[in-house]
């Protein structure tokens, strides 16, 4: 009887069924689409951040920079590298002196900290992996100056005959490339996860302590380098074992990559790091890991992907903002409206069917049976709405994926302007100048569909049906049979 | 057998209290056909609802068989209505979305009668009121007289001890009225159930073996 009555009601009161189911379907479709687009935008953001900060990195740890002191680490006051030449330095020939000096030091704007911090971080609960790096600049000064002449106690003011042009002229050349020292055994997280091997090989654990280098392919092209060749870093020849390509926006991108211990030794920074990349055991642990690291290393700057996401701008950021504000609220509002429509129509239906329920009570139907009947009808209406909503949502997602709108994403990364060319973003600035470099990426939005979203949507529809049915059934149960019949009379 | 003792029923209405039944004492033996007449608002329907376990008295007791209706909880009253009392209404009160057969089956649903038996009994009930060929029709596809026959079948299908009819011919023309009353009277005679009919129509009331008159909540016997 329950099933027959239910089917008859739903099919003979099509208008009410259609309105409730349509309202619910719209809400469910919107929930599915908003969630799928949000997941797509989130994936796009993750993709942008992965290209900037490396795959799998949940947290980055750096040291807050302090004002440099003169002579520290070969720098001048103000933080720039210094080159000191003695009277006997250089090679003199034909009235000209050729000078050359290489400085390998920490990238300006970054601060080193003790490598024991890495052990501290590895010991933090829910840290799955962590690796440390040392970012360095290799700056080579080359110059030709005329040889100075002195006679007696007076200085000869006539121009020297030597120099570049034979008339006392000078020429200077400064060549810079970046060197990133990294743990050759730890590839699960960190800078190497943001690059792609294009030639040769990448590091193995056996490369620790070896003078081997992996070179960025763009830099290799500009500097005419190839696998099997050599590259001089701070006066030491390194064998080029591989070429890698990195996104131009990668914050961790470097011209060259060498074993961490070698980098520390060459730069005179034994036991020092400039960054640590941390992977949490689970995305749910990131906040806790961040807080624990901050507690363990109070002087460190600890950033999560969420902090880094704020550096992503462009239409991707706009879409993300829209989804997190308008999209979510729109979903909630439409869902609430659908629930309200379902409840009001059910109550209205109960009111309209007062005589019917009064009659059923008069012939012996219990309140429980009547509540069950009303709730069953609402549940089926909600479920129909849920199924239609899932279908509508899937069609909407299909259309989004077919049209695949392109979003632009700009990731702003703090960098140090170099002297020469190379892949370093922001290159071209004054030497040693810190610059905010924005790299723009076009990302095609794909809205993924997950079983969870569909299950949640159907559950919401069923919940709406149950809610409407419960309220409608409660109204029906409160009808006193005599009053219900009297109201008809 | 019904036994009403000092039954009163009052309703609170805006700024006034309405007494629908005023100290009514009454006995109705099993198998009797009773007609209740009286002016509109006199308390006829309230008395019928009291007899049908749809209302509890404000004062006094209503006993049906061994059950004191005024003291039973709602669930027990629903059970008594489901098993022992059949209702026929002036406006037929059929469920518009269900067929004649399904409307009759609704009376068996609370009794937990299995589907096959339920359908068979409903079909037999419709046959007994002459509507075997209209089982699949919905109420809006039936005439007033046919709808009332379906309502009577619904009331009889559970084989009640009491049949309560509230103005059963009030919406019908004279010819159909007589047909319906012939049907009810025939059922009463054949099945030996108690038939209580509320009516304005003296022609209907004259068919009853006992006539009650109710005015301003007071019941009197009418000779």
The answer to whether residue A433 scores a pLDDT higher than 60 is no
Residues 450-489 in A contacting B (C-alpha not used; CB under 8 Å): 481-482, 485-486, 488-489
CA atoms of B147 and B139, how far apart (whole Å): 6
- pLDDT, position A404: 78
In this predicted model, what pLDDT tens digit does every residue of B154-171 receive, in sequence order? Answer: 988 988 999 999 888 887
- The ipTM estimated for the assembled molecules is 0.91
Task: Count the Cβ atoms, other than its own, within 10 Å of residue B221.
Answer: 9
- For B87, the closest of A9, A12, A362 (CB atoms) is A362
Q: Do B155 and A12 touch (CB under 8 A)?
A: no
Give the integer Cα–Cα distance in Å for B47 and B41: 11
**Looking at chain B, which residue has its C-alpha nearest residue A357?**
B95
Residue A1 touches chain B, beta carbons under 8 Å:
yes
Distance from CA of B152 to the nearest CA of A (A): 12
- Residues A154-165: tens digit of each pLDDT: 555 565 665 556
Provide the pLDDT for residue A439: 56
A430 pLDDT more than 90: no
Instruction: Provide the 8-state DSSP code for B160.
Output: -
The reply to whether A355 touches chain B by the CB within 8 Å rule is yes
Cα angle A434, A436, A439; round to 5: 135
Contact B155 A1 (CB under 8 A): no
Interface probe, candidates A362, A365, A483, chain B, greatest B C-beta count within 10 A = A362
Q: How far apart are CA A88 and CA B142, in angstroms?
A: 123
Distance, CA of B111 to CA of A455 (rounded, Å): 38
B161 touches chain A (CB under 8 A): no
Q: Is B139 helix (H, G, I), strand (E, B) or coil?
A: helix
Q: Could you report the per-residue pLDDT of A245-303, keeping only the tens digit for each? A: 876 455 567 889 999 999 999 988 888 998 888 888 877 778 888 899 989 888 888 88
Tokens representing residue A48 in the block = 């942008």
For an interface test with B, which of A1, A6, A364, A374 has the most B Cβ atoms less than 10 Å from its Cβ?
A364
Nearest CA in chain B to A5: B98
pLDDT value at position B104? 94
| Phi-psi sector, A190: left (phi>0), alpha (psi -120 to 50), beta | left
Per-residue pLDDT tens digits of chain B, which is 223 residues long:
889 999 999 888 777 888 888 899 999 999 999 999 988 888 888 899 889 988 889 999 999 888 888 888 888 999 999 999 999 888 888 999 999 999 999 999 999 889 899 999 999 999 988 888 999 999 999 998 899 889 989 988 988 999 999 888 887 788 888 888 888 888 898 888 999 999 888 888 888 989 999 988 898 887 6
Task: Check if A367 contacts B (Cβ < 8 Å).
Answer: yes
d(CA A52, CA A246): 9
CA distance B45 to B23: 16
> Given an 8 Å threshold on Cβ–Cβ distance, is A359 in contact with B95?
yes
Of the candidates B97, B98, B106, the beta carbon closest to that of A363 is on B106
| pLDDT per residue as tens digits for the range B3-15 | 999 999 988 877 7
pLDDT band at A64 (very low <50, low <70, confident <90, very high): confident
Contact A364 B107 (CB under 8 A): yes
Instruction: Give pLDDT, residue A142.
Output: 80
Count A/B contacts: CB-CB distance under 8 Å: 90
pTM beyond 0.80: no
Model confidence at A322, in pLDDT bands (50, 70, 90)?
A: low
Report helix, strand or coil for B132.
helix
Nearest neighbour of B81 by CB, restricted to A2, A364, A486:
A364
SS3 B66: coil
Furthest-apart CA atoms within chain B: distance in Å: 53
| Structure-token pair, residue A6 | 């239910």
- A-chain residues near B83 (CB < 8 A): 364
Confidence of residue A400 (pLDDT cuts 50, 70, 90): confident
Give the containing element (helix H, strand E) for B47. helix B44-51
Burial of A2 from C-beta contacts in 10 A (0-12 / 13-18 / 19+): exposed
């Amino acid at each position: 009887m329950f099933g027959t009555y239910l089917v008859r009601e739903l099919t003979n009161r099509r208008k009410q069924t259609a309105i409730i189911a349509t309202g619910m379907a719209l809400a469910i479709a919107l929930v599915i689409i908003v969630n799928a687009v949000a997941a797509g935008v989130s994936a796009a953001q993750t993709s942008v951040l992965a290209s900037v900060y490396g795959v799998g990195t949940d947290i980055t740890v750096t040291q807050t920079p302090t004002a440099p002191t003169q002579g520290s680490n070969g720098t001048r006051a103000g933080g720039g590298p210094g080159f000191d030449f003695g009277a006997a330095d250089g090679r003199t020939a034909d009235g000209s002196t050729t000078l050359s000096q290489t400085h390998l030091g920490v990238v300006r704007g970054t601060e080193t900290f003790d490598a024991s911090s890495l052990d501290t971080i590895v010991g933090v609960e829910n840290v799955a992996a962590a690796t440390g790096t040392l970012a360095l600049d290799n700056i080579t000064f080359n110059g030709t100056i005329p040889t100075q002449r002195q006679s007696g106690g007076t200085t000869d003011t006539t121009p020297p005959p030597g120099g570049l042009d034979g008339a006392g002229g000078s020429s200077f050349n400064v060549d810079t490339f970046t060197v990133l020292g990294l743990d050759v055994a730890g590839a699960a997280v960190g800078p190497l996860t943001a690059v792609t091997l294009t030639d040769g090989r990448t590091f193995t654990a056996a490369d620790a302590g070896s003078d081997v280098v992996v070179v960025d392919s763009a830099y290799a092209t500009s500097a005419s380098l190839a696998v099997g060749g050599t590259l001089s870093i701070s006066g030491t020849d390194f064998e080029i074992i591989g070429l890698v390509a990195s996104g131009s926006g990668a914050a961790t991108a470097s011209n060259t990559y060498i074993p961490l211990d070698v980098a520390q030794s060459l730069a005179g920074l034994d036991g020092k790091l400039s960054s640590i990349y941390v992977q949490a055991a689970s995305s749910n642990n990131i906040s806790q890991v961040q807080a624990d690291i901050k507690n363990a290393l109070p002087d460190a700057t600890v950033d999560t992907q969420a902090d880094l996401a704020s550096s992503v701008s462009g239409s991707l950021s706009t879409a993300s903002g829209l989804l997190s504000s308008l999209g979510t609220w729109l979903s909630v509002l439409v869902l609430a409206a659908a629930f309200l429509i379902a409840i009001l129509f059910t109550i209205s239906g109960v009111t309209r069917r007062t005589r019917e329920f009064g009659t059923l009570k008069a012939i012996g139907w219990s309140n429980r049976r009547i509540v069950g009947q009303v709730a069953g009808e609402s549940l089926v209406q909600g479920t129909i709405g849920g199924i239609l909503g899932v279908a509508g949502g899937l069609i909407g997602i299909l259309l989004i994926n077919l049209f695949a709108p392109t979003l632009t994403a700009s990731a702003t990364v703090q960098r140090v302007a170099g002297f020469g060319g190379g892949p370093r973003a922001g290159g071209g600035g004054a030497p040693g100048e810190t610059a905010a470099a924005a790299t723009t990426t076009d990302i095609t939005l794909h809205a993924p569909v997950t079983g969870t979203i569909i299950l949640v949507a159907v559950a919401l529809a069923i919940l709406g049906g149950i809610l409407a049915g419960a309220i409608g059934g409660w109204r029906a149960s409160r009808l006193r049979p005599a009053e219900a019949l009297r109201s008809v009379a | 057998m019904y036994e009403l003792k000092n039954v009163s029923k009052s309703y609170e209405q805006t700024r006034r209290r309405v007494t629908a039944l005023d100290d009514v004492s009454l006995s109705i033996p099993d198998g009797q056909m009773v007609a209740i007449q009286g002016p509109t608002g006199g308390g006829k329907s309230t008395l019928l609802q009291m007899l049908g376990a749809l209302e509890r008295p404000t004062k006094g007791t209503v006993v049906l068989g061994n059950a004191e209706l005024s003291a039973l909880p709602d669930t027990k009253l629903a059970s008594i209505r489901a098993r022992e009392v059949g209702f026929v209404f002036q406006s037929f009160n059929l469920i518009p979305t269900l067929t004649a057969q399904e409307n009759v089956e609704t009376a068996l649903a609370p009794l937990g009668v299995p589907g096959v038996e339920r359908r068979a009994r409903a079909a037999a009930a419709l046959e007994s009121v002459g509507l075997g060929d209209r089982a699949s029709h919905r109420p809006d596809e039936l005439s007033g007289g046919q709808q009332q026959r379906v309502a009577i079948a619904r009331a009889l299908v559970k084989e009640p001890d009491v049949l309560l009819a509230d103005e059963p011919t009030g919406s019908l023309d004279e010819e159909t009225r007589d047909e319906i009353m012939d049907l009810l009277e025939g059922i009463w005679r054949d099945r030996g159930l108690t038939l209580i009919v509320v009516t304005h129509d003296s022609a209907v009331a004259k068919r009853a073996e006992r006539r009650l008159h109710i005015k301003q909540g007071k019941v009197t016997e009418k000779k």
